[in-house]
Amino acid sequence: MERLDKSEKIFKVCSYTLVIVFALLALYPILYAFSVSISGKVAYESGQIVLLPKDVTLQAYDMVLHDKGFWIAYTNTLFYTVMGTAWSMAISLTGAYALQKTKLLFRRQFNFLLVFTMWFSAGMIPLYLNYKNLGVDNRWGMVIAFGVQAYNIILLRNYFSSIPREIEEAAIVDGANEFQLFGKVYIPMSTASIATVTLFYAISRWNGYYWSRMLLSDPYEQPLQVYLRQLIENYQKLYDESPVNLTYSADSLAYAIIICSIIPVLVIYPYIQKYFAKGVNMGGVKG
Amino acid sequence: MKNSKIEMRKPHGKLILKAIIKDWRLYVLLLPLVLWFAVWAYKPMGGLLIAFKRFDPQYGVWGSEFKGIDNFINLVSGVNKTEFWQAFRNTFIISAYNLIFGFPVPIILALLFAEISNNFVRKFTQTATYLPHFLSEVTITGITLMLVYSGVRSSGIIASIFQQLGLLEPGVSMTQKANYFRPLYILVGIWKESGYNSIVYYAAIMGISPSLYEALKVDGGNKFQEIRFVTFPGMAPTLIIMIIMRIGNMLTIGYERVLLLYNANIYVTADVLSTFEQRIGILSGNYGTGAAVSLFNSLIAFALVIGANTISRNISETSLW
């Protein structure tokens, strides 16, 4: 046991207290949202819910789960997440592989053009006009036109370039071409990094909102986030229009909608933990 | 340098073609990436030209007529000048608040995490503080709006507390009062991102050699001297990189959050350049003026990155490039 002097002891006690307070504050709004979503109307409207639920009822969830629009949006988001992540990964992996090859002509120039997009963007209006011009207003358009991020490509590129040359040279001696090197040497050796970047892409697809709202013209193609936002804006009206006398409050309905939309993220969150901390620290962001 | 010899005889003309044919598979692998960035990132940069044009949908970006700097003059002294300067001012004020109040939190968190020797407590607190980063902006702002609204039947819990303390008149929503917007925006940012942003600082602290701490202890240094003379210098390169990136993103980050939190009643404190650009460009169809804001925004952001990078390279020898 190492001995601590007085200043170290004080610092330790303060650290534990502050860190636990901060963690509880970060979780509180989510726990509170969950509690209200399953609480009764009277208990909530008289201000009795502070942390734990009261007069537990699942009827708000019943209403959300019987909402057809909710399921359409959910299915759409699954589509955007799965297809979008696959598309982003295909482009990022092949590109990252090529960009780290020393024999690639104009390698420095290509890499510069990639990094440049992190610092200079065309801006909202030119992007919008470009999307409109090229017909990005439907499901496939959203998949294809979005989701390739320079930062993620740099992460993959840096990881690929850390793979020892000897392994590649041995494969070349055995007659492997570039496609085989990429598919049979580099990919199998980078599973952890690939998992990390896949998760980054998947989360950003799942959470995407702004451009879907701006571009998609058909309400049946909207992702969950756009639908969720519309419900949050209109839940009072939706609640008032309900024909029967409800045992939960309007706010419970709104919170139930929010909770339903984050369940998938909460379920996979413990599993992705070990990957993302690694991802953040994986290689510097140098050009 | 080892490669300098190779680079000295750069291939040109026929040699380039020969090299590409020889390694055609490599270029096939590169092609999708090049095409994607050409179409979705570089082509729209050409679209910035409409900042100097009178955009006519009939003729498109390239066919529209040149108008010089009319759009810019219109912006700074035309009908929208009050709105433009208000958004301009708000952008800088909110960014400055973010830098002053938001930037230090993850650093402090990382210092605290480094003190937690109990594995369970550290894992739990890290897991809890990273979580909001993975929830969508719509979710986070949705919960926030629910917590601060005031309604007829009920109010959000934060609004209720403010009412009970007499800080808020009953029936008035915090979201409709201009003076609440900036603190709310900053706090939401701290809640969502500070845990996640602490990861990179935590890694930097963990990378400091323990022998430095031992040496300071032998010399009789206390905990605060330890942070001052060992931890901070040890994480300085990371800190500088993060500051450069933060300054470079100053004008662009977080407009989605503003858009989701603000409303027409509080433009005076909440409207920023990007949201102004969205309203005037996309919603009102003034593409030329909107693109002028885009160009303005992108150029300032770019200048800020280059400026921050140059300064840091000169004073600390740490830089992005």
pLDDT in tens, A210-246: 999 999 989 999 999 999 999 988 888 888 887 777 8
Q: Is the pLDDT of residue B13 over 80?
A: no
Smallest CA–CA distance, residue B103 to chain A, in Å, is 16
Residue of A nearest to B249 (CA): A119
Integer-rounded Cα Rg, in Å, for chain A is 25
Q: Is the pLDDT of residue B249 over 80?
A: no
pTM: 0.89
ipTM: 0.90
Contact predicate B244/B320, CB 8 Å: yes
- Give the architecture (CATH level 2) of A68-215: Orthogonal Bundle (1.10)
Smallest CA–CA distance, residue B48 to chain A, in Å, is 6
Of A22-36, A161-175, B245-259, the poorest mean pLDDT is in B245-259
Percent of chain B with pLDDT over 70: 93
Structure tokens at B21: 């044919």
Please list, in sequence order, all residues whose beta carbon lies within 8 angstroms of the beta carbon of residue B166, skipping any fewer than 6 positions away: none
Residue A280 in contact with partner chain B when CB distance is under 8 A? yes
Task: Test B223 with A114 for CB contact under 8 angstroms.
Answer: no
From the CB of residue A200, how many other CB atoms can be counted at a distance below 10 Å? 21
Integer-rounded Cα Rg, in Å, for chain B is 25
The mean predicted confidence, pLDDT, of chain B is 86
Q: According to the model, what pLDDT value does residue A149 have?
A: 93
Q: According to the model, what pLDDT value does residue A277 have?
A: 64
Q: Is the pLDDT of residue A156 over 60?
A: yes
Structure tokens at B189: 């940012």
Percent of chain A with pLDDT over 90: 60
Residue A263 in contact with partner chain B when CB distance is under 8 A? no
Task: Test B147 with A29 for CB contact under 8 angstroms.
Answer: yes
> Which of B 120-149 lie inside 8 A of A, CB atoms?
121, 124-125, 127-132, 134-139, 142-147
In a mutational test of the B interface, the residue from A124, A209, A265, A267 whose CB has the highest number of chain B CBs within 10 Å is: A124
The phi and psi torsions of B67 (rounded to 5 degrees) equal: -130, 15
Smallest CA–CA distance, residue A141 to chain B, in Å, is 12
The model's pLDDT over A170-180, given as tens digits with 9 standing for 90+, comes to 999 999 999 99
Mean pLDDT for the stretch of residues A152-165: 91
- The domain segmentation of chain B, as residue ranges, is 12-62, 69-316
Q: According to the model, what pLDDT value does residue B6 have?
A: 47
- Give the architecture (CATH level 2) of B69-316: Orthogonal Bundle (1.10)
Contact predicate B233/B113, CB 8 Å: no
- The domain segmentation of chain A, as residue ranges, is 68-215
Mean pLDDT for the stretch of residues A93-101: 96
Of A2-11, A188-197, B107-116, B135-144, the poorest mean pLDDT is in A2-11
Task: Test A262 with B16 for CB contact under 8 angstroms.
Answer: no
End-to-end CA distance of chain B: 18
The mean predicted confidence, pLDDT, of chain A is 89
* Chain Cα centroid distance, residue B158: 27
HEC string for B223-272: HHHHHHHHHHHHHHHHHHHHHHHHHHCCCCCCHHHHHHHCCHHHHHHHCC
Instruction: Give dist(CA B233, CA B219) in Å, integer.
Output: 18
In a mutational test of the B interface, the residue from A125, A148, A177, A178 whose CB has the highest number of chain B CBs within 10 Å is: A125
